[in-house]
Amino acid sequence: MKQFRIYIFLALGILAVSCSEDEKVTVKVQDTVERGAILRTISKPSPSFDFNDPSKQWIVEVEEQDHEDGALFQEVGVYASITKSSTGNTSEEAFIKTVPKSDFSRGPNDLPRGKVGASLSEVLSGLGLSSGQYESTDFFTIRLELVLTDGRTFSAADAGATVAGGSFFSSPYTYSAQFFCALADASSFDGNYIVVTDVWADYAAGDVVPVQFVSGYTFRILNTANPFVDNQDTSYMEVTIDPDTGAATVMSNECFNYPGFDCVNVTGLGSVGTCTGDINLVNTFGPYGNYGFTLVKQ
């Protein structure tokens, strides 16, 4: 994590020096570099599927931005795959539907903003699945593809190239959609969890992180295994679940003390697998932007 941030600061410093030495470089870059486009995640009104009601939709609200402020936006393609909990195998991805620009309207930033959704029925049909061929502990990966009027497309494979950090340019394109099961409380979110993804890079894939049930619909992701913070024993992320949707909100109890850097407060949004106990978050680390954090129960 520390190396990552140092490299960013060095890169910015080199860029500043280069620009001051020869401003013509900026003009050349603007004339020769192809500009991209992004889908910015605004909210997740419905982050899961209902196992007992295939008509209910998974929904994410997104905002499109291109260098012509949305004039190049044509449509969003929706794709899906399913991962079987019994085997861990993931299916081939299938095309589900297209959401046209006409379903979007101008948002507060004067950019196209709208909700992209798919029902469980639509996803199952696209994947060629019927009743009895999936379980409540399985989960889906939904991938969005931004299509422009000039024929170019942008999706998950382009996210690293087109998004240069910062919460304003959060553009993951892929989302985990799990089944919703009724929760009496958050007590199933307790014990050791295995890290699947940590884009902030405090942990490597496969590391073990302790999670502690608190009460009601709240649990904590402890920092005791975090090798980068000085306040391991006292700091944690507190996660609160919305029992009606499985949506999750995150707030650190205190700032994370990274040696040599400012103390970093952490907030975040995401969802939990109410049937599986999985945790899928996008955390904001102070001014440094949004970073995905995915855990599965050991």
pLDDT in tens, 198-246: 999 999 999 999 999 999 999 999 999 999 999 999 999 999 999 988 8
Mark which of 180, 211, 243 sits at the end of a domain.
180
**Block residue for tokens 């992180």:** 209
Mark which of 180, 208, 224 sits at the end of a domain.
180
Domain match, 85 and 151 both = yes
| CA angle at 122 for the pair 132 and 113, rounded to the nearest 5° | 140
Torsion angles phi and psi, residue 17, rounded to 5: -65, -45
> Per the domain annotation, does 29 fall within a domain?
no
Buried b (16+ CB within 10 A) or exposed e, 3-18: eebeeeeeeeeeeeee
Specify the CATH number for the domain of residue 142: 2.60.40
The CA-atom distances, in angstroms, between 292 and each of 14, 30, 152 are 28, 31, 26
- Domain boundaries, position 234: 191-297
Domain match, 43 and 164 both = yes
> Per the domain annotation, does 8 fall within a domain?
no
> Per the domain annotation, does 18 fall within a domain?
no
Domain match, 157 and 125 both = yes
| 3-state SS class at 67 | coil
Domain match, 46 and 120 both = yes
Domain match, 231 and 253 both = yes
> Per the domain annotation, does 153 fall within a domain?
yes
C-alpha to C-alpha distance for 271 and 237, rounded to whole angstroms: 14
Domain match, 135 and 263 both = no
Residue ranges of alpha helices (H) inside the chain are 2-21, 24-32, 120-127, 159-162
pTM beyond 0.85: the answer is: no
Domain match, 196 and 278 both = yes
Length of the chain: 298
User: How many other C-beta atoms can be found within 10 angstroms of the C-beta atom of residue 189?
Assistant: 28
Mark which of 118, 147, 180 sits at the end of a domain.
180
Domain match, 67 and 134 both = yes
Is the CB of residue 220 less than 8 Å from the CB of residue 204?
no
C-alpha to C-alpha distance for 242 and 281, rounded to whole angstroms: 14
pLDDT per residue rounded down to tens, the chain (298 residues) = 645 444 443 444 444 444 444 444 334 333 434 567 889 888 888 988 988 899 999 999 999 999 899 999 999 999 999 999 888 899 999 999 999 999 999 999 999 999 999 999 999 999 999 988 999 999 999 999 999 999 999 998 765 433 323 333 456 788 889 898 889 999 999 999 999 999 999 999 999 999 999 999 999 999 999 999 999 999 999 999 999 888 999 999 999 999 987 799 999 998 899 988 999 998 999 998 888 899 999 9
pLDDT of amino acid 26:
35
Domain match, 60 and 174 both = yes
Domain count of the chain? 2
Q: What DSSP line would sit under 121-138, residue for residue? A: HHHHHHHT--TTS--TT-
How much of the chain exceeds pLDDT 90, in percent? 62
Domain match, 165 and 144 both = yes
Smallest CA-to-CA distance from 233 within 201, 259, 256 is with: 256
* 6: Cα within 13 Å, side-chain hemisphere: 6
> Per the domain annotation, does 56 fall within a domain?
yes
C-alpha to C-alpha distance for 18 and 205, rounded to whole angstroms: 37
Smallest CA-to-CA distance from 282 within 107, 120, 159 is with: 159
Domain match, 175 and 219 both = no
Q: What is the dihedral of CA 206, 212, 215, 218, to 10 degrees?
A: -40
How many helices and strands in the chain, by DSSP H and E? 4, 18
> Per the domain annotation, does 115 fall within a domain?
yes
> Per the domain annotation, does 6 fall within a domain?
no
Domain match, 174 and 209 both = no
Smallest CA-to-CA distance from 243 within 282, 280, 271, 278 is with: 271
> Per the domain annotation, does 201 fall within a domain?
yes
| 3-state SS class at 281 | strand
